[in-house]
């Protein structure tokens, strides 16, 4: 072996010795020149590198020589690579740009409150709805603690920004729900039919909502059902008003699940103990069942079915105002079916498909009678069925922008009968919509859309343009504006008698500012809403009109106090309208000028107990007093509304079952609440419209048994 060979041999044996060493140092900052600590700066493909210090500086020795690639990475920033020469001893200055991820991109927010399970800071989660004291696990009741919604607790529905309950539409997975609330009795509002646990996301839009949805003049409550459950489970609930049980089964491959649930509610034992204002003569009882089926059809495809059947029976007797000394009775039997089948799939090449089918039917049988012999009883039967289909295609444009378009068709049959008088109609409603979200920059987005609708019963078409813009001022703050036209068919009870009616119309203008961080939210909105073509009933015309304007503030804080989460909302509303039988434009009887809510939740981890308080306030609402002259119509005001709900829930486990005990008291101090007055037709007598019980005490226990899948895990090994 030659000497040369030996040298080569040595060199080859120790490749590291061949490499010259170079010192690399410098500083990393963000685009605003603030130093970035914790950045991983290194020579690609080698171990050599360093982590930047608090002042952003770094320094290390590289074993590789010559031209190398230097990389700098930090979570939340775009990784950077640059060519350097290890020989040069210059100080490197590296600037990292913040990564434009979905969290930092501006989103359309004017008018809408989102509540979802996803990681980003949302306003309300489904659990928030359940743990809001005084809401009784009712979605609409929890939403009433948000700005924009009125405290109209004498009738069901969400009354938003000077709109009636009819002007709010409920949408589940894109499909309209015709009867989201239980049928109500006079003065007793019906609760929502759907449990908050069915939904992973809730968006409450108090105005300016997307062209995807129509037929709501004021507001949309958009609910998105949950996907596959995490595991199989069964649940049992027992409370002072009823029982429920259900199972949820997840297949072994975790791609298919089904669930069934049944519940029975009967308030009569409760009402035997705590006498309500009206005397119960039937129930109230509710028998309900529901079933769901979900299947992940592919990596991106999801098929969901939800079906619900429900029967409720109730009847009350109360003192007659019309006939002193006599009584009036009212009984109601209601049957309700709702089914919803939706399918989502990605078609590839940036296209996504959504398709949905839904059928629902609602039947009310109402019987009213008085103890006065000369007045015959009245029987009211009303049936409404709705079949609907909906298709939507989405095309992603670039990283964030998207185009959506689609159509929907609804076939509705309305039948009603009073004694032997029949009235009804059939409507074929079709709609087409298109909208596009255009990101001019990651912090400036515009949504431009439109919706065209045709209803056969009105024999008219409408076209509604909608525009929203949002601009992100910083990572947390954004400013938005929205404008849109909204059309809605008149209520079925008017359409039945007057088929010459036209759409009612509202135009929304909204300006909003919000600051949302992970543990606090601040929002404020200014709105103006103009109503046109509202229904007048005497005679039936579309000559009604009105307006609503106001300002709303919302603050939620999960940070300041340990284990405490609270929110405060305030709404100022100035609204007047001339509709139905109103002689002129006045503040309607469902609108209060000032509404405020404070929701407070305190979790005690050591006791595993959560305490909640909800205080709501509203100024007096107008009511109709027939003794006032015509020019003083609706000039009287009820007393101010005060309500304090208290709840305590205790979480524990009983034999491996996750168990919650809930005690809640609605209006605990028993504040007197008067929502209005009913007058006899001669105006001589009146009765207060008040809650049927001054405070409602609820005690319940819910158990969830997770079916242990450990054995499955072992079997699959």
Partner 1 sequence: MKRFIYSLLLLSGLTTGAMAQSAQYQDAMSKQTSDLDSGYVFTPDGLQQKANTFERIADAEKSQWLPYYYAAYCNIMHAFLLQDKSKIDPLADKAEASLDKAEALSPKNSEIACIRSLIASARLTVDPMTRGMKYGMEAGQQIQLAKTYNPENPRVYMLLGQSFLFTPEQFGGSKVKAKENLEVAVQKYAAFKAESPIVPHWGELYTKELLSKAQ
Strand ranges for 326-350 from DSSP E: 327-348
State the sign of the Cα–Cα–Cα–Cα dihedral 114, 116, 121, 122. Answer: positive
What's the closest the beta carbon of residue 639 comes to partner 1, in angstroms?
A: 36
What's the closest the beta carbon of residue 610 comes to partner 1, in angstroms?
A: 7
73 vs 389, beta carbon nearer partner 1: 73
459 vs 654, beta carbon nearer partner 1: 654
What's the closest the beta carbon of residue 688 comes to partner 1, in angstroms?
A: 39
What's the closest the beta carbon of residue 600 comes to partner 1, in angstroms?
A: 14
Write out the residues near partner 1 by the rule CB under 8 A. Answer: 1, 5, 8-9, 11-16, 37-38, 40, 42, 44-51, 73, 75-76, 117, 119, 125, 127, 131, 230-231, 517-519, 603, 605-606, 608, 610, 651-653, 656, 658, 704, 706, 709-710, 713-714, 717
128 vs 437, beta carbon nearer partner 1: 128
DSSP summary character for residue 544: E
Task: Please report, to the nearest 10 degrees, the dihedral formed by the alpha carbons of residues 157, 158, 164, 170 taken in order.
Answer: -80
Residue reference for tokens 């040298």:
7
272 vs 711, beta carbon nearer partner 1: 711
What's the closest the beta carbon of residue 127 comes to partner 1, in angstroms?
A: 5
CA distance linking residue 185 with residue 318, whole number of Å: 12
Residue reference for tokens 């491996």:
656
Phi, psi for 505 (deg, rounded to 5): -135, 145
What's the closest the beta carbon of residue 87 comes to partner 1, in angstroms?
A: 21
Sheet-wide strand order for 22-30: 57-62, 22-30, 91-96
Cis peptide before 298 (omega within 30 of 0): no
362 vs 610, beta carbon nearer partner 1: 610
What's the closest the beta carbon of residue 227 comes to partner 1, in angstroms?
A: 13
Phi, psi for 640 (deg, rounded to 5): -65, 155
Any bridge partners for residue 23, and if so which? 61
What's the closest the beta carbon of residue 588 comes to partner 1, in angstroms?
A: 38
What's the closest the beta carbon of residue 519 comes to partner 1, in angstroms?
A: 7
Q: Residue 495: in which H helix or E strand, if any?
A: helix 492-495
Residue reference for tokens 């849109």:
484
10 vs 378, beta carbon nearer partner 1: 10
Task: Please report, to the nearest 10 degrees, the dihedral formed by the alpha carbons of residues 27, 32, 35, 38 taken in order.
Answer: -100
Nearest to 571 by CA among 600, 545, 548: 548
9 vs 351, beta carbon nearer partner 1: 9
CA distance linking residue 445 with residue 100, whole number of Å: 14
What's the closest the beta carbon of residue 170 comes to partner 1, in angstroms?
A: 24
Close Cβ partners of 171 (under 8 Å, ≥ 6 residues apart): 177, 213, 220, 221, 222, 223
350 vs 518, beta carbon nearer partner 1: 518
Cis peptide before 534 (omega within 30 of 0): no
67 vs 230, beta carbon nearer partner 1: 230
253 vs 631, beta carbon nearer partner 1: 253
13 vs 273, beta carbon nearer partner 1: 13
What's the closest the beta carbon of residue 614 comes to partner 1, in angstroms?
A: 17
Within 10 angstroms of residue 183's Cβ, the number of other Cβ atoms is 22
Phi, psi for 269 (deg, rounded to 5): -60, -40
DSSP summary character for residue 474: S
Nearest to 700 by CA among 178, 263, 221: 263
């Amino acid at each position: 072996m030659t000497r040369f060979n030996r040298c080569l041999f040595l060199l080859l044996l120790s490749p590291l010795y061949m490499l010259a060493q170079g010192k690399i140092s410098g500083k990393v900052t963000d685009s605003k020149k603030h130093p970035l600590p914790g950045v991983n700066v290194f020579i690609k493909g080698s171990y050599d590198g360093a982590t930047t210090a608090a002042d952003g500086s770094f320094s290390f020795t590289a074993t590789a020589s010559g031209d190398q690639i230097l990389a700098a990475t930090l979570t939340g920033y775009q990784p950077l690579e640059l060519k350097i020469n290890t020989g040069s001893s210059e100080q490197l200055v590296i600037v990292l740009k913040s990564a434009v991820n979905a969290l930092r991109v501006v989103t359309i927010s004017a008018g809408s409150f989102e509540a979802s399970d996803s990681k980003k800071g949302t306003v309300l989660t489904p659990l928030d709805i359940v743990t809001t004291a005084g809401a009784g696990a009712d979605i609409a009741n929890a939403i009433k603690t948000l700005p924009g919604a009125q405290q109209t607790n004498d009738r069901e529905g969400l009354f938003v920004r000077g709109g009636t309950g009819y002007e709010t539409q409920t949408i589940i997975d894109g499909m309209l729900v015709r009867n989201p609330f239980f049928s109500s009795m006079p003065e007793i509002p019906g609760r929502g039919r759907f449990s908050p646990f069915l939904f992973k996301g809730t968006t409450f839009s108090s105005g300016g909502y997307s062209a995807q949805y129509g037929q709501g003049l004021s507001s949309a409550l958009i609910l998105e059902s949950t996907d596959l459950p995490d595991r199989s489970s069964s649940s049992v609930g027992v409370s002072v008003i009823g029982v429920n049980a259900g199972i949820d089964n997840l297949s072994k491959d975790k791609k298919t699940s089904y669930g069934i649930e049944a519940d029975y509610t009967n308030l009569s034992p409760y009402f035997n103990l705590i006498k309500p204002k009206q005397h119960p003569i039937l129930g109230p009882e509710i028998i309900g069942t529901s079933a769901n089926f979900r299947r992940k059809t592919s990596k991106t495809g999801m098929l969901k079915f939800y079906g619900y059947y429900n029967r409720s029976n109730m009847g009350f007797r109360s003192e007659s105002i019309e006939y002193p000394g006599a009584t009036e009775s009212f009984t109601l039997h209601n049957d309700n079916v709702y089914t919803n089948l939706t399918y989502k799939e990605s078609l590839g090449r940036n296209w996504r498909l959504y398709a949905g089918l839904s059928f629902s039917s609602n039947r009310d049988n109402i019987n009213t009678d008085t103890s006065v012999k000369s007045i015959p009883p009245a029987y009211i039967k009303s049936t409404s069925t709705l079949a609907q289909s909906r298709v939507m295609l989405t095309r992603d444009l670039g990283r964030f922008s998207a185009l959506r378009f689609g159509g929907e068709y609804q076939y509705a049959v309305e039948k009603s009968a009073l004694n032997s008088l029949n009235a009804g109609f059939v409507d074929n409603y079709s709609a087409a919509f298109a909208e596009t979200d255009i990101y001019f920059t990651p912090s400036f987005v515009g949504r431009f859309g439109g919706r065209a609708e045709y209803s056969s019963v009105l024999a008219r078409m409408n076209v509604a343009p909608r525009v929203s813009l949002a601009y992100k001022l910083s990572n947390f703050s954004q400013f938005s504006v929205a404008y849109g036209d909204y059309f809605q068919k008149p209520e079925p009870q008017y359409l039945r008698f007057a088929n010459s009616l036209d759409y009612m119309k509202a135009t929304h203008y909204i300006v909003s500012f919000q600051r949302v961080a992970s543990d606090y939210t601040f929002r404020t909105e200014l709105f103006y809403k103009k109503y046109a073509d509202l229904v007048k009933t005497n005679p039936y015309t579309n000559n009604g009109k009105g307006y609503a304007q106001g300002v709303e503030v919302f603050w939620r804080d999960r940070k300041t106090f340990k284990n405490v989460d609270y929110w405060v909302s305030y709404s100022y509303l100035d609204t007047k309208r001339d509709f139905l039988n109103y002689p002129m434009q006045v503040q309607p009887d469902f609108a209060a000028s000032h509404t405020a809510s404070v929701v407070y939740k305190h979790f005690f981890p050591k006791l595993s107990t959560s305490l909640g308080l909800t205080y709501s306030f509203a100024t007096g609402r107008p009511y109709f007093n027939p003794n006032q002259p015509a020019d003083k119509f609706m000039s009287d005001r009820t007393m101010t509304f005060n309500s304090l709900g208290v709840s305590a829930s205790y979480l524990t486990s009983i034999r491996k079952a996750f168990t919650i005990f809930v005690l809640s008291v609605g209006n605990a101090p028993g504040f007197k609440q008067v929502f209005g007055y009913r007058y006899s037709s001669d105006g001589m007598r009146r009765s207060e419209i008040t809650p049927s019980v001054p405070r409602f005490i609820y005690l319940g226990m819910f158990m969830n048994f997770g079916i242990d899948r450990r054995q499955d895990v072992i079997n699959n090994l």
